Amino acid sequence: MAILIIALMLVLMMIGMPIAFSIFIPTLIFFIVEPSVSIEVFIQRIISGTQSFPLLAIPFFILTGYLMNESDISRRLINLSSAAIGHIKGGIGYINILVNTFMAGMSGSSNADAAVLSKLLVDPMEKKGYSRGLAAGITAASSLIAPIIPPSIALIMYGFMAEVSIGRLFMAGILPGIVMAIFLLAFNFIYAQKNDLPKEHEHFSAKEVYRTFLQGILALFTPIIIVGGIRLGIMTPTEAGAITVVYAFCIGYFVYKKLTLNTLRDAIKESALLTSVVMIIVAASSAFGWVLTWERIPQQVAQFVLGISDHPLVVLLLINIMLLIIGMFIEGTASIVLLTPLLVPLITEVGIDPIHFGIVMVMNLAIGSITPPLGTVMFTTSAAAKISLTEFLKKSWPLYLVLLLALAVVTCIPQLSLLLVK
């Protein structure tokens, strides 16, 4: 019965039905048809799936990201990055990657970062010698750091579904996020040297770095507040989210004076809409997860994979391939809430740390979001940069190899994820 439910869910997704309803309808059919369970259980699971204190962090961090974007933070970070590294060939490419890395510690959303920076940086990169498709590709690839470095909505979802510490996941994401940035910077270095791309300015100026650093220092404190507060035990991730909302509002409204009551209203509205989408998916997936457990699907998946190999690296390789494929078709949040109950028992069985696996899982699904046919970040970046998907893919394909190499390093070296946690 469960196989039919899963098949129906996939069919509904492929014909374009919203993710939440694609999960909700087959699950409801199961509870109606299956005589040994009652519809009351379905209702209980729908409600209980959203009754979790850690999930309160989601609307707070989403709102923080919107407030930061409305506060002209991105332009200040561009100026700081330009002063620090613009004197190197291909400086505008480095600036793109660095700004995405900085913003990852504030927004937690790849789509938001990709949309904002595509509008700000693709045109300047094209003028400096990058093809428009590659400029958009670098923007999209760099934005994938956002789900890895805290605050990360994806890691909050994984922590909730896997029942592991969100604070520990936040710590675990820092080094892998930096690894992704380093690999992308290395790609930009090779490309800039090969094509003799121009510098942003001729000489490094410590005075200019200091000036732009002072302009952006309040924004740079955001990830420090989040990670430091959680690490020192001062606040939970949810409390950190609430505090950063207040902090983002204060610097945007009183210090930078870019926030207005109208933009604040718009930010709250957009945050509420996005939060609603996420929570509906969570509610539907909670009931679907109960169905999987009832039908013993996780145990069957574990037996199948362990029949191939029980070596942790081989298991991770098989899971990586599966997640990369799934990420091409299903949005990351839905994939996490659907697959985490299936995969965590398996990786625990072979001795893989669930914290490390959470980072690997999110990286896989992030790469899927810029991969055809249904990569959401790919669509967002292409639309914001005003280029066709064909041009995006034609010019950006080397970046997929760079991201896969970074994924391989993080997969094979668990210490990158676990060092700061320990």
Q: What is the pLDDT of residues 149-183, one digit of tens each?
A: 988 889 999 998 898 999 999 999 999 999 999 99
pLDDT confidence of residue 123: 94
What is the separation, in whole angstroms, between the first and last Cα of the chain? 43
Give the separation between CA 141 and CA 402, rounded to whole angstroms: 9
pLDDT tens by residue, 1-37: 767 888 888 788 778 788 788 888 999 999 998 888 8
Asked if the structure places residue 24 within a domain, the reply is yes
Q: Please tell me the predicted confidence (pLDDT) of residue 5.
A: 82
**Tokens 């998946």 belong to which residue?**
301
Task: Identify the top-confidence range among 53-67, 198-212, 337-351, 395-409.
Answer: 395-409
**In the chain, count of helices (H) and strands (E)?**
20, 0
- The token duo for 368 is 């899927």
Which pLDDT score is estimated for 199? 92
CA-CA distance, 167 to 92, in Å (whole number)?
34
54-67: average pLDDT:
87
The single residue listed with the structure tokens 């995405």 is: 100
DSSP string, 253-314: IIIS----HHHHHHHHHHHHHHHHHHHHHHHHHHHHHHHHHHTTHHHHHHHHHHHH---HHH
* Number of other residues whose CB lies within 10 A of the CB of residue 418: 17
Question: For residue 2, is it within any domain?
Answer: no
Q: Show the tokens assigned to 359.
A: 């980072």
Angle at 24 (CA atoms; ends 20, 29), nearest 5 degrees? 160
Q: Quick one: pLDDT band at residue 109, thresholds 50, 70, 90?
A: confident
How many CB atoms are located within 10 Å of the residue 370 CB?
29
Q: At 206, is the pLDDT very low, low, confident or very high (cuts 50, 70, 90)? A: very high
Q: Which two tokens stand for residue 11?
A: 């069919």
In this predicted structure, the answer to whether residue 65 has a pLDDT above a threshold of 80 is yes
Residue 118 has pLDDT above 80, yes or no: yes
Q: What is the mean pLDDT of the chain?
A: 89
Q: How confident is the model at residue 419 (pLDDT cuts 50, 70, 90)?
A: very high
Q: Tell me, what's the pLDDT at 140?
A: 95
The pLDDT of residue 355: 97
The single residue listed with the structure tokens 């604040």 is 264
pLDDT at 128 over 90: yes
CA torsion through residues 201, 385, 152, 256, sign: positive
Q: Residue 75 — pLDDT band, cuts 50, 70, 90?
A: confident
State pTM to two decimals: 0.89
pLDDT tens digit sequence for 345-388: 899 989 999 999 999 999 999 999 998 877 889 988 998 899 99
For residue 54, whether the previous peptide bond is cis, meaning omega lies within 30 degrees of 0, is no
Mean pLDDT, residues 242-260? 91
158 falls within a domain: yes
| pLDDT at position 3 | 77
Mean pLDDT calculated for residue range 241-245: 92
Angle at 150 between CA 148 and CA 156, to 5 degrees: 85
Surface-to-core class of residue 329, CB atoms within 10 Å of its CB (0-12 exposed, 13-18 middle, 19+ buried): middle
Q: 153: closest CA among 51, 252, 60, 46?
A: 60
Give the integer Cα–Cα distance in Å for 413 and 407: 10
Residue range 54-59: mean pLDDT, rounded: 84
Structural domain span for residue 178: 16-418
pLDDT of residue 227: 85
Range picked from 276-285, 299-308, 380-389 for highest mean pLDDT:
380-389
Cα–Cα distance measured from residue 145 to residue 399, given in angstroms and rounded to the nearest whole number? 13
Residue at 10 is within a domain: no
* pLDDT given for residue 287 in this prediction: 86
Q: Can you tell me the distance from the alpha carbon of 240 to that of 266, in angstroms, rounded to the nearest whole number?
A: 22
Burial tier of 243 (Cβ tally within 10 Å: 0-12, 13-18, 19+): middle
Mean pLDDT, residues 104-127 taken together: 87
Q: Which residue has the higher pLDDT, 18 or 108?
A: 18
Q: Would residue 8 count as lying in a domain?
A: no
Contact 126, 195 (CB under 8 A): no
Residue 212 scores a pLDDT above 80: yes
Widest pairwise Cα distance in the chain:
75
Give CA–CA dist 340/293, Å, rounded: 12
Instruction: Domain count for the chain, please give it.
Output: 1
Alpha-carbon distances of 116 from 107, 121, 266, 279, 337, rounded to whole Å: 11, 9, 16, 24, 27
Mean pLDDT for 128-135 is 95
- Residue 49 pLDDT class (50, 70, 90 cuts): confident
Does residue 9 sit within a domain? no
DSSP state of 355: H
- Residue 94 resides in a domain: yes
pLDDT value at residue 84: 93
Rounded-to-integer distance, Cα 78 and Cα 212, Å = 9
Give a three-class secondary structure readout of 187-253: HHHHHHHHHCCCCCCCCCCHHHHHHHHHHHHHHHHHHHHHHHHHHCCCCCHHHHHHHHHHHHHHHHH
Predicted confidence at residue 14, as pLDDT, reads 76
Q: How many C-beta atoms surround the C-beta of residue 246 within 10 A? A: 12
Concatenated DSSP letters of 21-51: HHHHHHHHHHHHH-TTS-HHHHHHHHHHTT-
Question: Which pLDDT value is given to residue 186?
Answer: 97
Question: Which tokens in the block code for residue 329?
Answer: 């078709």
Structure tokens at 222: 């955001």
Flag whether 146 is in a domain.
yes
